[in-house]
Each structure stands twice: as structure tokens, then as C-alpha cells.
Amino acid sequence: MFRRASVPTLLVWLSGLATLILTAGLIRHLAPLGTDVVALQLAFSPQHFGHIVHSWSPDELQRYRQHLPFAVALALCYGTFGHLLATRTPFFAHLGAGWLCFATWSLPLATISHAVANGLHLWLTAAPRFGLPTVYLTSAGLSLFKWGMLIGFGLVVVYALVRKAE
């Protein structure tokens, strides 16, 4: 017969499923913009940011701006998933304390960076703001940190799977 899942395990699965669904939806929504979405996230200067934004039509810019609240929801889902996977399941239990600490906090930290960067992008795409290079630098730095944490978490998952298979 089926064993009833504990509430924390159910939350891990639900947050993981929500992450997958939101990721698929956002990929589909942003597909017409191509790789410019990632390039915009990593635009460290007003000129680079402006070059990308001004290459989009008004409808494309609106499409980008419309995705931002859903991207924050995605960040909340993946942050919850990562934290719960690390703290409420034995998935990383066979790794050392440092790996477990990274697995526990990498996605919640990525969530915060993602949300702040998206807030800045919402503000920066509302009107030209070329006199604020520090804001563009901050936004891109937060996005770079987010991507680093996401990739790092993925690598720790792979490492945990390899170690478990040994």
C-alpha cells in the first residue's frame, strides 16, 4: 500500500513541482525575447542595459515587465524547495557540514538576490535612468550571485547523488 508522506516531505515535493511549473511557464512566456533576458540580467552598465531594452518593441518590453512578479514567485518556490530539501530530508545527510550549510542557504540567498534584482529591473525598465550606474551594477551583481547560487546548488545535488552511489 502507499505510505502517507509527512508534511515536510509533501512541502518539498509541492515546492519542487511549483518550481518546475513556474519555470516552464516563464520559459514559454519569455521565449520570444530569446537570450536577451539573461543578457539583461547581466548588464552591468546603463549602456548595455539600454541597448537590450531599446532593441525590444514596446510589446516585448511589456512582456518582460509582466514576467517579473511571476519570477519572484518562482524564486520563492525554489528557495523554499532548496531549504526544505536540505533541512527536512536526508538527501544531503551523507555530506559534510559545509556542504549541508551551502545546500541549506544557497537557494534562499538566491531568492533574495533574485527578488531584489527583479525589483530593480521593474524600476529600471519603467523609464530611462542612465545617470545611475551603481544601480545597474548592483542589479547585475545580484543576478550574477543568484546564478552562481543556483548553479552551485545544482552541483551540490550532483555531488550528493554521486557520493550516495559510491
72: number of CA atoms within 13 Å, CB side? 13
Mean pLDDT on 17-38: 96
Element (H, E) at 164: helix 133-165
Residue 25 belongs to some domain of the structure = yes
- 2 lies in a domain? no
**Would residue 153 count as lying in a domain?**
yes
C-alpha cell read off for 119: 525589483
Residue 144 lies in a domain: yes
User: How many distinct structural domains can be found in the chain?
Assistant: 1
Residue 1 lies in a domain: no
Q: How does pLDDT run across 53-77, given as a tens digit for each residue?
A: 999 999 999 999 999 999 999 999 9
Q: What is the pLDDT of residues 83-102, one digit of tens each?
A: 999 999 999 999 999 999 99
In a domain, 38, yes or no: yes
Task: Tell me which residue range forms the domain holding 65.
Answer: 7-165
